[in-house]
């Protein structure tokens, strides 16, 4: 009878071990071959791990709360021969597309990329106003966006002040001619009056040719044209036909767009790399494939708090008028290359947010992770300050898949460490079973003081180690039991014998 039971148990253990190995066929961990005995059936079960991958192990077979059997871990599978290493078969290396490249010393051609917008050159913006009051009789430039040339008439206006000033000037010039025979003092007074009237007209920006025409004809003009003092594009028009304007009132704004600014927003981390005179390459979505060249003329001394960027000004020639204020633009600033440094492709770096790792190829399908300290980057390659030396091969493709294998190995190594810890200490106590929950395998037990744990008498919940132990726990029965702490606060009954009173009741 006992032989048959032993044979059945052996068959179950072998079947469970075979199913586990079949399920693990896709992953080959780097382990010490000497630690695995030649015969698979002779391997020793070290512990049982949670089937869902949770950090929970058991020295004996058990089920998880969902009824799934814990998976046996055999001797030789608990850890790799070298901590942190992982080994893949040649077929798997080819299947996942592992590609390596050697770290090499090279100068980094750094560049700073930023976004910005096109703006008019502030030094080329003119505001057109009048220095006297008047009325617009006829509007000549009547639309925003209209191009202007210097001296072009904007509108014709009537001004009572201008009419009075013309009359004073004409009276003074006529008086000078009529006082040729008069005393010198009278002639000087009339000449001063004429000069004062002429200066007043000139201060009102009346053109010299208009003044000469006034002197030649001797006729007071009712309306005069107001001419543009600058060439450019009308960006703002406030003048309306028939309106009255006052001295200093803005009537037009004109911008010369033959040269424009790009205001780029450079990230705070790159602010120390840019300076005036740095060449810039500007591209605009509206003109694919076309590049506009310029240079930084000014780095603003302020930081934009909302975006944590520093504005820089780039001047761009715009003879064709393609660059329009308000356009979005991208700029690339070329930074001069420095000395040669150890570099690897940017794809070789695995950044977890906490640390940066590079996988080094040890050959024969073996890889090891190296924590690295990074320096500058040009977008394609990154400087390695610590962790990898010149000439070492690093993984540049499929490194995330290898890292996943490494994480699995680290988890299994943790299971092995848990088994290597001291075995749980067994404790013994007398008590009485109050209630049993067969569905979850627990029992409420009122026990006497436990000297080994310094416990007083109390009622608490215990977990049954297996079905045999659970069957021995009958509500109301006094018991003599052993228990251990399998996890923090998890107390497991491993053995049960009837208490003295219960044994005496059952003896014939």
C-alpha closest to that of 78 among 409, 487, 421: 409
Picking from 111, 110, 114, the residue whose alpha carbon sits closest to that of residue 267 is 114
413's tokens? 């190594």
Classified as helix, coil or strand, 495 is: strand
> Which residues are CB-contacts of 336 (< 8 A; sequence separation ≥ 6)?
none
Residue 337's pLDDT is 66
Residue pLDDT, tens place only, 49-88 = 776 555 567 888 888 776 778 878 766 554 444 556 777 7
Same domain, 250 and 130: yes
**Domain boundary residue, one of 255, 286, 316:** 255
Looking at the domain assignment, is residue 487 inside a domain? Answer: yes
Q: Is residue 243 part of a domain?
A: yes
Model pLDDT for residues 89-98, shown as the tens digit of each residue: 777 777 778 8
Domain boundary, last residue among 194, 223, 255:
255
Q: C-alpha dihedral over 421, 427, 431, 432, to 10 degrees?
A: 30
The single residue listed with the structure tokens 């694919």 is 288
Cα 335 off chain centre by = 22
* Same domain assignment for residues 192 and 127: yes
Q: What is the pLDDT of residue 54?
A: 59
- Tens digits of per-residue pLDDT, 100-140? 899 989 887 777 889 999 999 999 999 999 888 999 999 99
**219 and 149 assigned to the same domain:** yes
Residue 245 lies in a domain: yes
Count Cα atoms within 13 angstroms, Cβ side, for 247.
7
């Amino acid at each position: 009878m006992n032989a048959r039971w032993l044979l059945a148990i052996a068959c179950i253990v072998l079947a469970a071990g075979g199913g586990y190995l079949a399920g693990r066929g896709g992953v080959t961990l780097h382990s010490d071959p000497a630690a695995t005995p030649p015969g698979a059936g002779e391997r020793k079960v070290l512990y049982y791990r949670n089937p869902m991958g949770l950090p929970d192990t058991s020295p004996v077979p058990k089920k998880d709360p969902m009824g799934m059997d814990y998976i046996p871990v055999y001797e030789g599978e608990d850890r790799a021969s070298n901590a942190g290493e992982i080994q893949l078969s040649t077929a798997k290396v080819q299947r996942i597309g592992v590609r390596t490249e050697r770290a090499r010393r090279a100068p980094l051609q750094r560049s700073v990329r930023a976004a910005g917008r096109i703006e008019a050159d502030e030094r080329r913006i003119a505001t057109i106003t009048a220095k006297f009051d008047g009325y617009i009789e006829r509007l000549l430039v009547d639309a925003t966006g209209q191009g202007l040339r210097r001296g072009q008439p904007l509108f014709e206006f009537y001004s009572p002040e201008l009419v009075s000033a013309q009359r004073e000037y004409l009276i003074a010039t006529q008086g000078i001619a009529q006082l040729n025979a008069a005393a010198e003092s009278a002639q000087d007074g009339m000449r001063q009056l004429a000069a004062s009237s002429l200066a007043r007209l000139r201060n009102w920006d009346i053109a010299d040719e208009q003044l000469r025409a006034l002197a030649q004809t001797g006729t007071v003009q009712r309306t005069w044209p107001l001419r543009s003092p600058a060439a450019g594009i009308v960006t703002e028009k406030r003048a309306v036909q028939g309106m009255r304007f006052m001295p200093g009132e803005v009537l037009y704004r004109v911008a010369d767009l033959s040269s424009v600014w790009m205001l780029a927003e450079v990230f705070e981390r790159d602010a120390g790399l840019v300076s005036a005179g740095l060449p810039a390459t500007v591209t605009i979505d509206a003109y694919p494939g076309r590049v506009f060249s310029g240079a930084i003329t000014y780095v603003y001394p302020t930081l934009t708090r909302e975006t944590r960027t520093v504005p820089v000004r780039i001047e761009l020639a715009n003879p064709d008028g393609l660059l329009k204020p308000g356009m979005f633009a991208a700029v690339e600033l070329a930074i001069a290359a420095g000395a040669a440094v150890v570099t690897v492709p940017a794809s070789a770096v695995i950044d977890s947010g906490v640390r940066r790792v590079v996988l080094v190829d040890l050959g024969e399908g073996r890889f090891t992770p190296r924590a690295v300290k990074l320096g500058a980057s040009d977008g394609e390659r990154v400087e390695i300050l610590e962790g990898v030396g010149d000439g070492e091969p690093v993984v540049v493709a499929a490194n995330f898949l290898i890292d996943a294998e490494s994480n699995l190995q680290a988890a299994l190594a943790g299971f092995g460490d848990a088994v290597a810890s001291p075995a749980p200490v067994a404790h013994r106590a007398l008590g009485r079973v109050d209630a049993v929950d067969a569905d979850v395998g627990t029992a409420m037990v009122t026990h006497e003081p436990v000297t080994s744990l310094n416990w007083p008498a109390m009622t608490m919940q215990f977990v049954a180690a297996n079905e045999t132990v659970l069957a021995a726990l009958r509500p109301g029965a006094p018991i003599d039991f052993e228990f251990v702490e399998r996890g923090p606060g998890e107390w497991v009954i491993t053995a049960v014998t009837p208490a003295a009173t219960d044994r005496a009741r059952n003896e014939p």
